[in-house]
Amino acid sequence: MEELILSIITLFVGAAVFIVGMNMMSSGLKKSTGRGLKRLLKKIRNNRFACFGIGTTVTALVQSSAATGVMAIGFIAAGAMTVFQGVNIILGAYVGTTVTGLIASLSSISISKYFVILAVIGVVLMFFKKELVKNIGEILAGLGILFFGLSTMSGAIMGNADLVKGIEDFFDLANFPLLLLLIGALVTALLQSSSASIGITVAMVSTGALHFEQAMYLVLGATIGTVITLLIATIGGNVNVKRTGIIVLIIRVVSALVALAICWPLSSFITDGFHFIFGDNNALAIAVFHVIYNIIFMLLALPFVKPLEKLVEKLIKDKEQEKMKQSLKYIDNHLLNTPTIAMMQVKREIINMMQLAKDNLKLGYNRIVNQDNTNDKELIETEDKIDYINNEITQFLINLTHNVSLNDEKVLGSYFHVVNDIERIGDHAYNFYESSLKMVDNDLSFSDTAKKEFDSMFSVIEQMFELTLVIFHDRSKDSLKKLHDLENQTDELKNQLSSAHYERIQNKTCHVENSPFYTTLVSELERVADHLVNIGYSIVNPIGDDPNEKN
């Protein structure tokens, strides 16, 4: 009994050593290739096979599908990668991670006991100062420790007949394919590593304590359990991150169940085939089975990624997106069938966008001039709304262009310029907010004199906004002329304010540290005036009429 307990403890110690070695090898590989791989991931496009190939390559190099999956999740969360790209990369990662199983199967080769010497070589290299040599040392040390762990597990099993009998009895008792699949999934979920569970399975198969057929179902279960690490990484993520996790889980579960449905009735044929090819080397046979399964089923899953993405989009609603849709007041794709009404409604939507930009500019101006942070949340949310409305109006205009007359098409063409100018005004409002944050960080603020100067210029900008909104309704060239005159006034004020500011600096009545923020604010207000004049001209002369022509 004492020997049995010692063998069980040794088995768990071997499993722990194997996992440590695997993680050390993976860590060294990531340090050696991490930056380059991240750059590679950033450059991917929407080609599913390219994404799949990159996922396979990256994971084969870093020896961790979890690491690749977490990197992909990070890029998706940051908006640098789409759900489609991320899922295809992760599916490729599940093929790349099979290399660990192949490495583990080498323990069945007679010379594998000498592989542990790699740990000694690796440790020696880790004392070198050169980073690359240290990383190579970590890889070799991890590889050597991995083989030592496998050897320890195998020795613990083979060295005790009671333990072998106990493992055989347990799996004979649980010798039902679906149950074995669930055990494989549970063990892998607990270990949070399919490589670890596959390595342990390989060790048990190599000693004869586990039959090839039983190991086959455990491996299928492991492919489900490995998704747990990815799902944990999606906790707290945005809607696209959650969709990615659900899609991958669906693919892995369905793939494993389909494979189970195929392997179950054909188990004898499959077992005989692998024995014919690999003889008594069950360790290599099960590792190759793992590779074949992942290659076939992950490639077969690729055409289903896009349909699954659409399905999951319906199941997991984007609350932020739904909230953004409420920002649209007047346009809807159903209006495209009635172009005349659509023309009226898109104009109203542009005015709605204009009003948002006007309000947000006032918030941004108040933020930087008075350092008032009470409306920060509203400012940021409104900026997002303006960007969203800009995209929606632009797409609506593109779709509407095909259904209108030539004259209306020219009007729509002018609207493209209008929404672009409004969006830029919104950007200036957000720039004020960002500049204000920098001023607060540097403990800077504007003097009362400077504030009065800004107010004089902003007052003109407010008048221009009101005139521009009037122009939307009456397309008056008189209003356009007044708008143009006010824009000239902002040019003059820009020069006057800049001169007054530099004069105060020379007289040392103003802090030079404020200078960048002062000149930036004045320049951005002047640019807002330019955008407002551009909007006025686009509305009054949408089809290129002479602006000096009388009504």
Domain residue spans in the chain?
A: 2-317, 325-540
Assigned architecture for domain 325-540: Up-down Bundle (1.20)
Query: Token pair 């609207």 is at which residue?
Result: 415
Three-state secondary-structure class, residue 455:
helix
Give which of 27, 51, 16, 34 is closest to 299, Cα–Cα.
Answer: 51
- Residue 165 has which token pair? 């009998």
| Distance from chain centroid for Cα 178 | 35
Neighbours of 21 (CB within 10 A): 25
The Cα–Cα gap between 527 and 525 comes to: 5
**pLDDT at 357 (0 to 100):** 94
Placement of tokens 């597990």 in the chain: 153
pLDDT of residue 549: 41
Q: Residue 138 has what pLDDT?
A: 81
pLDDT of residue 23: 66
Q: Could you tell me how many helices (H) and strands (E) the chain has, helices first?
A: 23, 0
Q: For the purposes of burial, counting CB atoms within 10 Å of the CB of 275, is it exposed (0-12), middle (13-18) or buried (19 or more)?
A: middle
pLDDT of amino acid 158: 56
HSE on the CB side for 341, CA within 13 Å? 9
The answer to whether 446 and 369 are in contact (CB under 8 A) is yes
Residues of the chain with pLDDT under 50: 111-112, 545-551
DSSP tag of 78 = T
Per-residue pLDDT at 187: 83
Residue 172: both structure tokens together: 């004979």
Residue 131 burial (CB < 10 Å; 0-12/13-18/19+)?
Answer: exposed
pTM over 0.75: no
DSSP string, 174-211: T--HHHHHHHHHHHHHHHT-HHHHHHHHHHHHHHTSS-
**Residue 318: its H or E element:** none
